[in-house]
Structure 1
């Protein structure tokens, strides 16, 4: 019996993609609802903690009149998060995205049902009590948990369950930031670990669904407005963006190292980790006294940076107080995301660059946007996501060229100086390693007929074996058949004549894999042919 994998097609996709696509649309609806609920819960939590009123109206904790009592509020919030993690699930601790990656790679895309409830609740408490975190990480994890739970309820494979988990995660990000395309790219660059129609289409539909519903439930984009910038990019601007991108790569590396240094510090404390978020809350509270605008998500800070009129006091406060508050508290193991704080810090570096070169208001806003994208590309290792994300949250199309240059520069430098991103470092510390490089399987580039051994002289058979490989199919397809059926050799058949033309062994597959290694390792200088038509001699 011959599997469908042997059919010569560009893509390995079957009709189950229709089922997954339909389910993903439903997941997109659920994830958007959860995003709305989480954002409302953050507002409710902020009102309760800082204004002692029951309201879901968006409000900043920086405007509270509690004075020095504000120091205790993040401590209380951290204590509640610690208790939820200790007696609920410790999976609610941390950024959210590393936990999603861990579930995909190590737990067959299965997420504990408690996560769908405890993660958004703990994030609402942590952020509402002043935690300088983003809501996107918890929303991504919560949306992913919903997708995983639906996948566990259905009769699907692990790969299909992964698709549903990632569909929920992408929908959560799309609903939060009004960035449906960037959410798809984040899924590809960070979560899916593949680029195939079977997963890309359902994820895209979930993200698009969330992007559509967000218009009705949270408002249309862009999330941040920028001054008009109609002039075409000049060479000096692009060159400056290149330099700024490289600088932000160093900042991204420093932020990652600082956060994990604080995490190591907490690991050495002689007390149970349940109490760590409360200690992290002390740092938030003290920092909030000196820089109240460092409390909470801080989307208003990002908005000021992208308007181009951010004062130096705000920029300095973000770079010093906000950075320390975020790194210290997140290192304590509380619940919160990294995206919004990193965008804010990168934007502050870009805005500072605009101030230093005495750029006009609209140019300062552009420099802030370039800094945001560079920080995201470098710290998370997602350059394409960073470019599209910045364009979608601002609709500033003239920034495309300098933004692309800066993000690629940041991505290059961090790839050279950082062994792991700020997200994958957490997985490494848990004893797991993963590669972030995607490429076509080397066996996909080698045909069976090129490596087949023991060639036969057109041996005919009236009854082929149950499992065989065609001479013109890829060795990857043949390897999948051998792996699934536990075979060490596979009969090779000519597709047209149906004659047996050889046998494929594991040694032959290794020979095919060796060709890819040669392409990667051998450095040969190509010269012009010495044939007579090129003036040479035989």
Structure 2
């Protein structure tokens, strides 16, 4: 843990620098595509002239992204987070230098040319690649590489949005698939390092501050929960629609390299109707929180942003999901705020938390993220109510999140439900079969062969000496080998097993350590001895380990008064 925490100082700085580079690269592409100037100064697409460029720019950018994916790396396609999860679970947390370079460049071209995406997915993939590449420079395990990959990804998200707590929770809820000090502490170090770098690279303060307050009390929480259920339903519709559109692109009789360009035509036409749907849309998020948009503008924004984002992402281009989810959730909340107490701005914040929670299956991340983005920490109970309700709807309606569904379509099912390993709760003494059948160390080999031919009811037996201390295990396979060699050997079992090493545990040995011992020693049975005199008192077999899980399942499934 300590070594990884020290290494996380590097991933934190690397994630922050990568975030700074990505933001400037996006600004450079915006200036180049929309204003025909070479500059990395912040600029907004909505300020550009309208006309044919609204359609032409997204198409040109998507053609470039398609070519980069075809001849560079196919891993740059998509939102970034599913690819990072897949690398963690199935790729030993190894990401290549090519992905680390091409992902931010392709995403900057996609977003800067008008793609309706945010920078969070690309920076998570890029920060993760930095952490993975740094880890690959050292002799580390796959689990340790995973920690540094996730640490880099969380650092990148922190640098972009200034949300350290949400970044840590995202790592836990979506990417780590564990909560251990070995991974948790380095992620904290990396995130805080990026947060310390942020004032020098990106800026200070909340990214989307606004004025306004929601009414507290039980009524406010109840309204937030009800509204959260509607936000969850919207997220479910978006998730289903996304993969229906993706299936439609797969049926097209053209190479997938050209799909982003076809999707960009829809994006450009959407931009002609409302330019707010183009690009990351951070200014639009601020307008929603400030309550500056009329209700008809928010209705158009919600529907149009959903269409262009779904088509663009379904086409396989490069870009993130978080900012579009915030815009659509904010628009839904802003519309509802015209009838709910508090106004459209505060309810836009609640809508952002609800839609993000349901889509990503990350309720804690979403609730904290909304208040960190805006600085309205007093609204945390309200965002928790909305996020929890939205999450509940999502898990009842859909089998997977918008992130894991993409991975499952590649034949890899991922569960985001974590529970305590039943083996971590028990001891060897709880699982063992007491007073097992034994063989004496004085038994000759030929008698042992006859015993396994006629009397044996188990596959293997512990062999004990005169004091009852186990000295080895004898199996049917051993007896068969002895039989093939003649079967008349009068050597005793004790003499035969004198050079064998036997793994032993005591009744107080944790059951999960017994399972690890079985794997490391390639043993199907482990002897349990008395800690006082070393005498055999029991034996643990594989079926005993499985029985502990069966007991836990019984506790979950069987109902009684």
Is the shorter-chain TM-score for this pair beyond 0.5, marking a shared fold? yes
> 2 CA distance for matches of 1:51 and 1:205?
40
Provide the residue aligned with 1:119 in structure 2: 103
Contact 2:333–2:348 (CA under 8 A) maintained in structure 1: yes
**Match of residue 36 from structure 1:** 20
1:523 is aligned to: 559
Distance 1:500 1:150 in 2: 49
Counterpart residue number, 1:189? 173
Q: Which has the larger displacement, 392-401 or 346-355?
A: 392-401
Cα distance in 2 for partners of 1:157, 1:447 equals 28
Match for residue 373 of structure 1 among 353, 359, 362: 353
Residue matched to 1:135: 119
- Post-superposition offset of 1:498: 4.1
Per-residue CA distance 1:17-36 (angstroms, 9 max, x = gap): 11111111101101110110
> Which among 419, 422, 441 is matched to residue 439 of structure 1?
419
Check if 1:316 corresponds to 2:320.
no
Verify: 1:349 aligned to 2:332, yes or no. yes
8 Å CA contact retained: 1:276, 1:332: yes
Alignment partner of 1:153: what SS? Answer: coil
The 2-side partners of 1:26 and 1:445 are apart by 36
Query: Which residue number corresponds to residue 223 of structure 2?
Result: 240
Question: Hey, what does 2:241 align to over in structure 1?
Answer: 258
Rg larger in 1 or in 2?
Answer: 2
What is the Cα deviation at residue 314 of structure 1? 3.2
CA contact (8 A) 1:139 1:172 kept: yes
Partner Cα separation in structure 1 for residue 351 and residue 425 of structure 2? 40
Equivalent residue for 1:452?
432
Instruction: Find the residue that maps to 2:204 and give its secondary structure.
Output: coil
Which whole-Å deviations, capped at 9, do the CAs of 1:33-82 have from their partners, x for residues lacking one? 01100010000000000000111111111111152222111000000000
1:356 alignment partner, SS class: coil
* Contact 1:287–1:294 (Cα < 8 Å) also in 2: yes
The 3 A distance-change label for structure 1 pair 497 and 94 is same
Q: 2:546 aligns with which of 501, 504, 510?
A: 510
Query: In the alignment, is the contact (CA less than 8 A) between 2:166 and 2:366 conserved in 1?
Result: yes
Distance 2:545 2:212 in 1: 58
Q: Distance in 2 between matches of 1:60 and 1:312?
A: 23
In 2, distance between residues paired with 1:39 and 1:113?
Answer: 20
After TM superposition, the structure 1 = structure 2 runs for residues 209-224 of structure 1, keeping only pairs within 5 Å, are: 209-224=193-208
Listed as ranges, the matches of 1:44-443 within 5 Å are: 44-229=28-213, 233-357=216-340, 359=341, 363-443=343-423
1:140 and 1:370 map into 2 onto residues whose CA distance is 24
Which residue of 2 is the match for residue 473 of structure 1? 509
Query: In 1, Cα distance between the equivalents of 2:352 and 2:77?
Result: 25
Residues 315 and 352 of structure 1 are in contact (CA less than 8 Å); yes or no, is this contact kept in structure 2? yes
- Could you tell me the TM-score, scaled by structure 1's length? 0.91
The question of whether the paired residues in 1 share the 8 Å contact of 2:470 and 2:536 is answered with no
1:386 and 1:198 mapped to 2: Cα distance? 24
* Preserved contact between residue 470 and residue 527 of structure 2 (Cα < 8 Å): no
1:529 aligned partner: none
Contact 1:319-1:349 within 8 A present in 2 as well: yes
Distance 1:431 1:462, change over 3 A: closer
Shift of 1:493: 2.6
Q: Secondary structure in 1 aligned to 2:528? A: strand
Cα distance in 2 for residues equivalent to 1:286 and 1:311: 22
Deviations 1:488-522 (A, max 9, x none): 11111334554432211112112222211211121
Cα separation, 1, equivalents of 2:283 and 2:179: 36
| Corresponding residue SS for 1:492 | strand
Q: Give the drift of 1:460.
A: 5.4
Higher RCO (C-alpha 8 Å, min separation 6):
1
What is the CA distance between 1:327 and its match in structure 2?
A: 0.5
Shift of 1:313: 3.8
Q: Distance in 1 between matches of 2:50 and 2:170?
A: 40
Contact 1:123 1:138 (C-alpha < 8 Å) held by counterparts = yes
1:233/1:398 contact within 8 Å kept:
no
- Alpha carbons 1:351, 1:367 under 8 Å: kept: yes
- Count of residues in Structure 1 that have an aligned counterpart in Structure 2: 505
Taking structure 2 as the reference length, what is the TM-score of the superposition?
0.87
| 8 Å Cα contact 2:470-2:535 kept in structure 1 | no
2 CA distance for matches of 1:438 and 1:407? 19
> The residue matched to 2:433 in structure 1 has which SS?
coil
